[in-house]
Amino acid sequence: MDRRLPPREGEWIDRSRPVKFRFEGAAYTGFAGDVLSSALWANDVRLLGRSFKYHRPRGIYSLAGHDANVMVEDGRRTNIRGDLLSIEPGLDVRSVNTSGGVERDRLQIIDWFGRFLPVGFYYKAFHTPRWLFPFYENRMRKVAGLGRIHPDNKYPPSPKDYAYCDLLVVGAGPAGLAGAIAAAEQGLQVLLVEEQPRPGGSLTWQWAGEPAADQHLFGLLEKVEAFDNIRIRCGTQVAGCYGDHWAALIDDDRLTKLRTKSMLVAAGCFEQPAVFQNNDLPGVMSASAAQRLIHLYAVKPFGKAVVLAANSDGYRAALDLHNAGVVVAALVDLRHDGEPTKLAQMVADVGIVSHTGHAVYEALPARGKKRICGAVICPLDRDGNPRTESSIRIDCDGIAISVGWTPNVGLIYQAGGRFHHAEQVEQLVPLELPAGLFAAGRANGVFDLGDQIDDGCRAGLAAAAHLDRFDGEIPDSPKHQVAAPTHPYPIFAHKRKKNFVDFDEDLHLQDFENAHQEGYDNIELMKRFTTVGMGPSQGKLSNINAIRILARLNGASINETGTTTSRPFHRPVPLGILAGRRFHPQRRTPMHNWHVQAGAEIMHAGAWLRPEYYKAGGQNRDDCILNEAANVRNNVGLIDVGTLGKLEINGPDAVRLLEHLYTGRFRKQQVGRLRYGLACDETGVIIDDGVIARLADDRFYVTATSSGAAAFYREMQRWALIFDMDVTLINATGQLVAMNIAGPNSREVLQELTESDLSKDGFPYLGVREGIVAGAPAKLMRVGFVGELGYEIHVPASYGLHVWTTLMQAGERFRIRPFGVEAQRLLRLEKGHLIVGQDTDALTNPYEADVAWAIGKNKPFFVGSRSLDIIQKKPTTRCLVGLAFGDDQPRPMPSECHLIIADGEIAGRITSIAPRSTLGHSIAMAFVTPELAAVGTRVKIRADDGCIVEAHVAKMPFYDPESTRQQ
């Protein structure tokens, strides 16, 4: 059956664009502009989902995404709300939470066992007998949860962005539109956000057909269009409100991080359910859902309807249904006095029978419960209890409910607003709002249409005044004059206990009474025990009724009962949107691509990408590393050390600062010479090391460790200020690159590319020169980190690749090879050179690390000197020593951080280890207790699986102990 109505003004569908889609394997047609729920209803498909616990049939309830009845998955995304999912060609979705499809869901049998599954049953069941628990857990995991994740799906990252405005208006209904206009008139930059696809809010469906309402809608929209300083974003929710008016906006594509100076919440209300038997079945829906179907999607909601009302909105809904061709069999008004406005007469004039002081007691299910076939209504006594002895059965296929509203003010709660229950409107209204936050319209308890617009205007002006852009008089909020639009207790007991308070969690009225009986008599406890409001709709349709029930059970007022805490997000947000495009900065030297093309295996060193080793001729990793190292020892190699820290200290107090920062002495250091620098913190712990090169009397060039450079530079700046030094500090780490050419043939290779005198006499060990290398301005330093004749070449970054490739070309006849980080670590270990942060930890002082020689004798002061004076007088507790292993390679080899064991106690740990070296045996550095530190002492190392490997303490350096090769 096609339920589509003839074309009507203001409909959101485009009848010129039919759209074919599939639901549960069956093909349907809708129109562009339809959402899944409306398109299915138009095709007379009423069974749209299954409930979470009992797998009861469900259909449209709010048609606004306020409920979670219609949730589908499309094979890529899951838990998509059918009320908000626009249909597009090729859409193919299935309902979540079914076993065998929504029609034949095998788990619907659980509904029959409802009496055995009261609220909180899982706290009492399943724990005995204990041996059965794994079985229970396995079964529960299989049936629980909503939707399936498809880990193989790849998604492009969604963009995230920042946005800014003077005023964020939440909700583009009458109050929101009016507020935006009022604020924009005062010059504010306004961002108007609406969660529905089009602006207008309730003006598009609730007042539809009334000329005044239409005029308001078009007039407001026209005015908004005319302002350049109003931006509208539809299809966007304000998902959360954080400190300092930071709001998260979510749409289908992205997360926007909005910083606003003020916020106006005009987000309207959620229409509340009535609680009666079978109030959850397909065909029972809110009156606003029925009106949305009619006015937005041109779909006839029912053939024959009963309208349950407790306010004027219900009467409007009855008229809308009638005008859409629905037979309104009865209008059931909970109020004994009925509707006080002319709407009552209008309803009577079209022949709708009203039953005042009555309630819908039960919705009668058709076979299979996939739709309803009637309603049972009862008169109410003066206490509001149904008199079932006088019940009337009315045939119908739909019940539209309009018994009240609860404000959509989660954002105000999140922002720290406080509310109180106002009896004149029977809803929570703002009591206290934080500075810069405003509420208007029905969210503020203002229901008359004209009053909503005035209230919006008031709030817009108040926002402008808050930002000092308006200094006129701000009117008060309009007061609600007529009957409350919300019934105080639309909740009716039924012995068969399928009268649902929370549709998401399948909680019925008795569940709350049972929970209260067990002692959960506080709203927070009630929430957690029953799980009310903890489902996907986050309590939008259930929280206020739960509060009413608890208040009645406690004999308390709504204000005394209180509410639970609202936290972001206000509506479920896909994790993919939150993740979005992520930034993972990576640092590369200019030679990076060269390394990759040369077969480098790239490793991550912090944010840097560095060559670990270069793959060569099918060799395994260890062979490659060893061969690179051997080539340096025997020939010439080139390594990219561009990650090194490079700092300049210039000025009259440069020497003073160096003497303060480092343990060594620099006053008498000659221009053109290097010295080793060791830096400690105030507790005497080693924090960095490097070389200090004197370029001129007042100019020093300093290297630092790659990982410590930024922090060490900050320390330099700090101490320069504290000591009031006249220095100019420069961090050139990222501006220069460095490479180290090392090996017996390094001089020959480099000499081809520079006119600087590289001879032993012209450029001795620990010298520094400035010159030109391969056409690039360069600093050259004779250092011996790897223990061979070598030159460290520092050039501006833009010259880096050119110098590197030129060196490689010049070195071809010497069979130059690049070597990577691992080969360098091996070479320096052979030379006994420590790496700060590798062979030292957060407590290592120079005495333990065997670098006390770097402490200048009789220096009056340096950072850490006082602590080191104290430390020196105490016994050392550990020593950094070299270890050598026997010629036969033990298996397995220990790794860094493996412990040294003596007499069953921990006596140290490995800090660096090379299973293979150019020396032909394994070597390591380790901390050991002083008793084990003597050369020749045998030590035991516990490797993986508890194996003990033996080594002996060896003198360092292991290689070239006289350091003749690097001279």
Partner 1 sequence: MPDPAARRSPIHDALKERGAESRLVGGVPFAVRLRDEPTEREAMQSLAICDLSGLQKLGVKGRDAESWLSGEGVEVPVDIFESCPFSDGGVTVRFGADEFFLEDGVANMSVASLDERLHSRRGQVFRVEHQEATFLLVGPQSIEVLAQTCGINFREAPPRQLVFTRVAGVNCTVLPDFVGDIPTHRFWVEPSYALYLWEVLVEICESLNGSVVGADIFFRNCPR
Q: Kindly list the residues in this chain that would bind partner 1 in the complex (CB under 8 A).
A: 159-164, 257, 259, 581, 583-590, 592-593, 608, 642, 648, 650-652, 699, 726, 728, 730, 732, 734-736, 772, 774-777, 796-799, 801-803
Q: Are 914 and 829 in contact (CB under 8 A)?
A: yes
- Overall residue count recorded for the chain in this entry: 967
How far, in Å, CA of 961 to CA of 311, rounded?
Answer: 97
Q: How far apart are CA 338 and CA 97, in angstroms?
A: 41
Nearest to 294 by CA among 28, 80, 13, 32: 13
User: Residue holding tokens 């409909």?
Assistant: 11
239 close to 264: Cβ distance less than 8 angstroms:
no
CB 667 within 8 A of CB 856: no
Q: How far apart are CA 159 and CA 162, in angstroms?
A: 10
CA angle 795, 800, 803 (to 5 degrees): 90
Is-contact 267 411, C-beta < 8 A? yes
Distance CA 723, CA 654 (A): 12
Neighbours of 696 (CB within 10 A): 12
Rg (C-alpha) for the chain, rounded Å, is 39
72: its two tokens: 């589908």
CA distances from 608 to 329, 841, 957 (A): 74, 22, 29
| Contact predicate 191/238, CB 8 Å | no
Helix (H) or strand (E) holding 700: strand 699-704
- The encoded tokens of residue 319 equal 């008229």
CA distances from 184 to 62, 177, 229, 462, 470 (A): 33, 11, 6, 12, 11
Query: How far, in Å, CA of 76 to CA of 87, rounded?
Result: 16
- 122 CB neighbour count, 10 Å cutoff: 11
Closest CA to 44 of 299, 275, 263: 299
Whole-angstrom distance, CA of residue 702 vs CA of residue 683: 23
SS (H, E, C) 39-96: HHHHCCCCCCEECCCCCCEECCCCCCCCCCCCEEECCCCCCEECCCCECCCCEEEEEC
Region of 356 on the Ramachandran plot (φ > 0 left; ψ -120 to 50 alpha; else beta)? beta
Contact 223, 263 (CB under 8 A): no
Q: Which is nearer to partner 1, 542 or 731 (CB)?
A: 731
What tokens were used for 823?
Answer: 């080969």
Q: Which is nearer to partner 1, 132 or 772 (CB)?
A: 772
Nearest to 694 by CA among 669, 730, 665: 669
How are strands ordered across the β-sheet holding 372-379?
A: 358-365, 372-379, 392-395
Residue number, 481 or 597, with CB nearest to partner 1: 597
Candidates 173, 180, 169; CA nearest to 442 is 173
CB 643 within 8 A of CB 608: yes
Instruction: Write out the H or E segment, with its range, that includes residue 411.
Output: helix 410-414
Give the whole-angstrom CA distance, residue 784 versus residue 959: 12
Q: Which of 705, 700, 680 is nearest to 690 (CA)?
A: 705
Q: How far is the CB of 814 from partner 1 (least distance, A)?
A: 22
Helix 509-517 and helix 543-554, axial crossing angle in degrees, nearest 10:
50
Kindly state the DSSP code that residue 662 receives in the 8-state scheme: B
Report the side by side order of strands in the sheet with 354-356. Answer: 284-286, 398-402, 304-309, 327-333, 354-356
318 and 302 Cβ atoms separated by less than 8 Å: no
